[in-house]
């Protein structure tokens, strides 16, 4: 891979060595695009596992001391912890350190970065890799998580081009496709295709879980329910933060969903098979077009 020969990060500091941050480190290591990875996190056991698994080369107990050596800092923490993490590291960042994140929401993270990274904001490249599984933690990380996946970058007016280049090259080395979007646009897009579906899936499984007969019910379920609620296995902490960070956009989308469900409810209640079939058919047709385009 020519990328690996041309491009190398000296020291990468990953703050939050979970599925996302851990896979970023593993992908860069696989591409021989990083010399040394330092892991910072809240849970000693998770960091020990990350070290054992070769995801990181060193455990740092103090985020401040760790970032003093960083060429690239990767913020892999839930979006609700971005502000405090940035405030913690800002006094210790050097002038060469580039900072990036993997938060699902970008307007909120950018606002926090403006507030807490101070002079370093110009070397902060907001990012969002469109990859993941329903599993969490360092043990869930794997080097090919990002292969062929999109990574959204939403640099701001002030963002240094050299910083964008570094982060872009890092993601390319991970095998990802890099796409630039406006922060607001990205929040609407992922509100619709990711945040709303997570709320829908958590609530669907939550509806069943509330029932006394839940274990019996679930015992009869097939692949349909299993796939529909797979993402309800995701980290509640991470998704709580995302929902609140993207609140206004998500509430508008959630209202659209509630309206659509009410329409379906009304059609069922009035035995209006034509209206119901038309709703189902519109959804099915959208899915068919989408899958055809995805294959093209």
Task: Decide whether 22 or 80 has the Cβ nearer to a copy of itself.
Answer: 80
CA angle 152, 154, 157 (to 5 degrees): 160
In the numeric block, which tokens belong to residue 291? 């899958």
Supply φ then ψ for residue 222, to 5 degrees: -115, -160
Among 87, 100, 200, 212, which residue interacts with a copy of itself (rule: CB under 8 A)?
A: 200
In this structure, are residues 126 and 152 in contact, taking their beta carbons and an 8 Å threshold?
A: no
x/- mask, a copy of itself, residues 59-98, rule CB under 8 A, reads ---------------------x------------------
- Cα 105 from chain centroid (whole Å): 8
- Rounded Cα distance, 128 and 135, in Å: 18
- Rounded Cα distance, 257 and 287, in Å: 17
Task: Decide whether 52 or 256 has the Cβ nearer to a copy of itself.
Answer: 256
In the numeric block, which tokens belong to residue 252? 């508008």
Among 64, 154, 206, 295, which residue interacts with a copy of itself (rule: CB under 8 A)?
A: 206
- Rounded Cα distance, 251 and 14, in Å: 32
Least Å from the CB of residue 165 to a copy of itself: 23
Neighbouring C-alpha atoms within 13 Å toward the C-beta of 138: 25
Interface positions, 93-132, toward a copy of itself (CB under 8 A): 130-132
Least Å from the CB of residue 160 to a copy of itself: 26
Contacting range for a copy of itself; rule: CB under 8 A; set: 16-24, 39-47, 108-116, 266-274: 266-274
Interface positions, 137-166, toward a copy of itself (CB under 8 A): 149-150, 152
Strand order in the sheet with 177-180: 127-129, 150-153, 177-180
Least Å from the CB of residue 280 to a copy of itself: 4
Examine residue 261 and tell whether it contacts a copy of itself (CB under 8 A).
Answer: yes
Contacting range for a copy of itself; rule: CB under 8 A; set: 46-54, 114-122, 162-170, 201-209: 201-209
Extended beta strands in the chain, E state: 9-15, 34-40, 58-59, 72-75, 98-101, 124-125, 127-129, 150-153, 177-180
Interface positions, 21-60, toward a copy of itself (CB under 8 A): none
Task: Decide whether 96 or 180 has the Cβ nearer to a copy of itself.
Answer: 180
Examine residue 252 and tell whether it contacts a copy of itself (CB under 8 A).
Answer: no
Interface positions, 216-235, toward a copy of itself (CB under 8 A): 216-225, 227-234
Task: Decide whether 51 or 218 has the Cβ nearer to a copy of itself.
Answer: 218
Examine residue 273 and tell whether it contacts a copy of itself (CB under 8 A).
Answer: yes
- Rounded Cα distance, 270 and 203, in Å: 25
Least Å from the CB of residue 203 to a copy of itself: 4
Examine residue 198 and tell whether it contacts a copy of itself (CB under 8 A).
Answer: yes
Residues contacting a copy of itself: total by CB under 8 A: 93
Supply φ then ψ for residue 126, to 5 degrees: -70, 130
């Amino acid at each position: 891979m020519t990328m690996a020969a041309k491009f190398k990060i000296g020291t990468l500091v990953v703050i939050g060595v979970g599925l996302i941050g851990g896979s970023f480190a593993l992908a860069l290591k696989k591409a021989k695009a990083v010399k040394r990875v330092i892991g910072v996190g809240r849970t000693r056991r998770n960091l020990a596992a990350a070290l054992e698994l070769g995801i990181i080369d060193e455990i740092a107990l103090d985020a401040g001391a760790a970032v003093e050596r960083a060429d690239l800092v990767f913020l892999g923490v839930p979006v609700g912890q971005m502000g405090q993490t940035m405030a913690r590291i800002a006094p210790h960042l050097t002038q060469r350190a580039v900072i990036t994140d993997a938060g699902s929401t970008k307007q909120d993270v950018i606002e926090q970065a403006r507030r807490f990274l101070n002079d370093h904001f110009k070397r902060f490249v907001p990012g969002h890799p469109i990859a993941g599984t329903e599993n969490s933690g360092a043990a869930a990380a794997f080097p090919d998580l990002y292969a062929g996946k999109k990574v959204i970058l939403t640099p701001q007016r002030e963002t240094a081009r050299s910083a964008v280049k570094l982060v872009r090259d890092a993601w390319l080395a991970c095998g990802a496709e890099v796409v630039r979007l406006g922060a607001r646009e990205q929040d609407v897009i992922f509100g619709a295709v990711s945040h709303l579906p997570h709320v829908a899936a958590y609530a669907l499984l939550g509806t069943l879980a509330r029932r006394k007969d839940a274990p019996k019910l679930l015992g009869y379920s097939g692949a349909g329910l299993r796939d529909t609620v797979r993402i309800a296995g995701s980290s509640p902490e991470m998704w709580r933060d995302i929902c609140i960070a993207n609140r206004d956009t998500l509430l508008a989308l959630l209202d659209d969903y509630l309206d659509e469900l009410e329409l379906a409810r009304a059609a069922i209640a009035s035995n209006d098979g034509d209206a119901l079939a038309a709703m189902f058919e519109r959804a099915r047709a959208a899915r068919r077009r989408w899958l055809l385009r995805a294959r093209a």
